[in-house]
């Protein structure tokens, strides 16, 4: 990857509570990242790449960029959250590589196209952990 660049996706997908950026790599539009609930204390996001752009580190770079963008844009937020399906190994690696901790495991919560019920995994990154490069453990036992 020679250059990774997020580009404002236009007013139609941009307001106070949701910001969408195209992900442009080496001049080609590869996908988008949409952050939402920006006015609700803890932002969430959706990240999607075209199939021929996957597996090249772009998702990891895009989430890393988004984290810095949101913590810089919104000084009052303490967390960024996201969820994915349990079998989405690539997205789970993208969360892990960016310091997100697994905080939730929702059993049989996500219906697949064939009717199979998949689990949903919830992740979050604390501002403090992002700034220090550490991971505050979840207190599962309390
Ligand atoms: C999920 C998605 C954003 C990941 O982005 P990506 O650019 O393909 O991911 P990366 O290339 O940064 O890879 C991240 C890690 O996942 C690993 N990975 C990729 N596919 C994997 C798989 N099937 N099993 C295990 N690990 C996998 C990669 O090896 C990499 O790990 P590494 O850095 O240790 O080598 C992208 O694949 C995508 O848009 N998928 C479709 C939409 C989607 O599922 N979005 C998430 C919605 S919650």
pLDDT of residue 9: 80
How far apart are alpha carbons 94 and 33 in whole angstroms? 13
What's the total number of domains in the chain? 1
- 62, 4 contact by CB (below 8 A): yes
pLDDT for 142 equals 87
Domain that holds residue 123: 4-132
Strand order in the sheet with 44-49: 4-8, 18-25, 28-36, 44-49
pLDDT of residue 3: 75
Q: What is the CATH number of the domain that holds 37?
A: 3.40.630.30
Rounded to the nearest whole angstrom, what is the distance from the C-alpha of residue 110 to the centroid of ligand 1? 19
Output the pLDDT for position 2. Answer: 60
Q: Does 138 fall in a domain? A: no
Report yes or no on 117 lying in a domain.
Answer: yes
Q: Which residues line ligand 1 (CB under 6 A)?
A: 31, 47-49, 54-60, 84, 88-91, 93-94, 97
Q: What is the pLDDT of residue 55?
A: 96
On whether residue 15 sits in a domain, the answer given is yes
Low-confidence ranges of the chain (pLDDT < 70): 1-2
Q: Is residue 76 part of a domain?
A: yes
Let me know if residue 137 belongs to a domain. no
Q: Copy the structure tokens of residue 81.
A: 């959250």
Task: Find the 85 Cα to ligand 1 centroid distance in Å.
Answer: 12
Residue 36 is predicted with a pLDDT of: 97
What pLDDT score does 107 carry?
98
In-domain check, residue 142: no
Cβ distance 23 to 4 under 8 Å?
A: yes
User: Residue 9 domain-assigned?
Assistant: yes
């Amino acid at each position: 990857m020679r250059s990774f660049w997020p580009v404002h996706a236009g007013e139609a997908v941009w307001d106070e509570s949701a910001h969408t950026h195209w992900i442009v790599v080496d001049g080609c539009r590869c996908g988008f990242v949409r952050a939402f609930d920006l006015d609700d204390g803890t932002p969430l996001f959706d990240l999607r790449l075209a199939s021929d752009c996957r597996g090249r580190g772009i998702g990891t770079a895009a989430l890393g960029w988004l984290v810095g963008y949101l913590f810089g844009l919104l000084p009052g937020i303490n967390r960024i959250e996201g969820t994915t399906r349990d079998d989405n190994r690539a997205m789970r690696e993208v969360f892990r590589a960016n310091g997100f901790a697994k905080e939730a495991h929702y059993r049989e919560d996500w219906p697949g196209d064939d009717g199979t019920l998949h689990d949903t995994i919830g992740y979050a990154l604390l501002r403090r952990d992002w700034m220090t490069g550490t991971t505050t453990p979840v207190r599962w036992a309390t």
